[in-house]
Amino acid sequence: IGIFGRFGASDGNPNPMRFFFSVGAGGKGIIPGRPLDRFGIGYYYMDVRSPKFTGLHASREFLRDESGFEAFYNIAITPWLQLTPDIQVIRPAQKEMINGEEIRTATVLGLRLKTVF
């Protein structure tokens, strides 16, 4: 099992992103009898400052902090055939659309089949 982490920061000028970090863990062979299976899990967070607008949209904030989570499990059906279910949950930085409609957290499910030649 391995772990990772990253961190980055800026003064926020002109980029509205002030800082970012991500952490995660991954590994293989954690289930007895399945030495080729792999897994991974991760989380990220991005601190975002909403730009100041003038005029019609002066009181609105279109951006917010963003965060996300991802997890996968790679199933080695054979040494040359792998099936990987994946889930991602993303709370996007864009808070609302121009018409005022809220942009909600998204959940994305994936399934990948890989053949190794």
Q: Judge whether residue 54 has pLDDT over 70.
A: no
Which pTM value belongs to this model?
A: 0.79
Strands 17-28 and 38-48: antiparallel
pLDDT tens profile 61-92:
667 889 999 999 999 999 999 999 999 999 98
Single-letter amino acid, residue 88: Q
DSSP E strands, the chain: 2-9, 17-28, 38-48, 66-78, 81-91, 106-115
